[in-house]
Amino acid sequence: MVPESQTSKAGTAPADSGFGALLLHSVLENVPVGILAVSSTGRILACNGTAEFLLRIIRAKIIDQEYSAVLPDHLCAAMRRQLDLLAAGDEAEDSEIDCEISANQSLKIGINTATLFDPNGESLGCSFIFRDMSLSREVQTLRTANEMKSELVRVVSHELKSPLTAILQAAEYLLDEPKRLEKDQLAMASIVNESGLWISGLIADLLDLSKLEGNQLGLDLEIANLNALVEDIVELHRTKPNITFELDLTPNLPNLRFDRKKIHQVLENFVSNAVKYSPGGGRVRIRTAQTSGHQISVVVQDQGLGIPSDQLPYVWDKFFRVDSKETAKIKGTGLGLAITKRIVELHGGNVDVESQLGVGSVFSFTLPLNLGEPVT
């Protein structure tokens, strides 16, 4: 039996008025789980504010009362099961009950139980911890749905790969010997080839994204230099009509460890977007720099369409494309920047964008110098 001095009509109020006890009282009152302490004879010793809220009970009416006389039947039944287990020397089991909070709404409440001991190690009774499981269930359901969606994308994309390879090979065969075909047949073969390449790119993006989202894309780190990577990529775009490239590469930029193929993909996305979304031509400026925060930054600036400020926060979202007549005329899937952001973050870096409609955009990313061993 618990001495009366150890309990309080005010719920979890402390036995002494010391600072530590007050602190403990405040913590117990504010934790996001409900707590009920019950003596070994079934008397309610303590109840915190969260328990009042979750179980829809009034603390002043239940403290010092026999739990089975004042608590709702379904709650008592669950508590009795736990008390019986503990009395028999068995481990308590986690359980769940439904608590009605209004006519058509109920909460799933999870219950954990632990034995309460006095300073001499004697059993005083039992503490019941109640937590609202509804949210974690919803999160779990969403997580499962998301995993199923990623699996579906992975399977469908995988299944499309082989027939698509066959279509592309056939188109390539036809285009290799243009003399075999009439002019309009050649045009059709080109359309098949271009569309096939487009779908193939889309499938590659979808597979990359589902791997990145499922944390299945590992990094193949190697020591490399970002200046060299920038030069390689610009070479691929040099012949684009009406586009002038301007490189401002910091000399002696330190080497660092990164996944060359994936960062190539990031930079290629920034540069090809800068070219693609500058339909009237213009200058594309690429800058590299070592920042004070032990990072290297790469900045790609264009004088293209720009992005309206209200749409700017969404450019990193999957399938997002700027909603404008000009963008609609330019081919795209809205996946490149979503993949780019995830790849950079996987390296411990960050992406950023600034843009002004009709003036141009500045896309940038940083990579940490200390990913793996810094190498100079």
Chain contacts with ligand ADP (rule: CB under 6 A): 269, 273-274, 277, 302, 304-305, 307, 315, 320-322, 327, 332-338, 361
93 with 82: CB under 8 angstroms?
Answer: yes
Residue nearest to ligand ADP (CB): 332
Q: What angle do CA 164, 170, 172 make, to 5 degrees?
A: 100
Nearer of residues 112 and 272 to ligand ADP, judged by Cβ: 272
Nearer of residues 14 and 332 to ligand ADP, judged by Cβ: 332
How many CB atoms within 10 Å of residue 93?
11
141 with 170: CB under 8 angstroms?
Answer: no
88's tokens:
């028999």
Shortest CB 324 distance to ligand ADP, Å: 8
Shortest CB 283 distance to ligand ADP, Å: 13
Residue count (the chain): 376
Shortest CB 329 distance to ligand ADP, Å: 11
Nearer of residues 265 and 333 to ligand ADP, judged by Cβ: 333
AA letter at 82: Q
Nearer of residues 53 and 320 to ligand ADP, judged by Cβ: 320
Shortest CB 340 distance to ligand ADP, Å: 7
C-alpha–C-alpha distance, residues 339 and 269, integer Å: 9
67's tokens:
């739990």
Nearer of residues 230 and 337 to ligand ADP, judged by Cβ: 337
Shortest CB 363 distance to ligand ADP, Å: 6
Nearer of residues 34 and 336 to ligand ADP, judged by Cβ: 336
Shortest CB 284 distance to ligand ADP, Å: 9
Q: In what order do the strands lie in the sheet with 243-249?
A: 243-249, 282-291, 295-301, 360-368, 351-356
Which residues is 208 bridged to in the sheet?
A: none
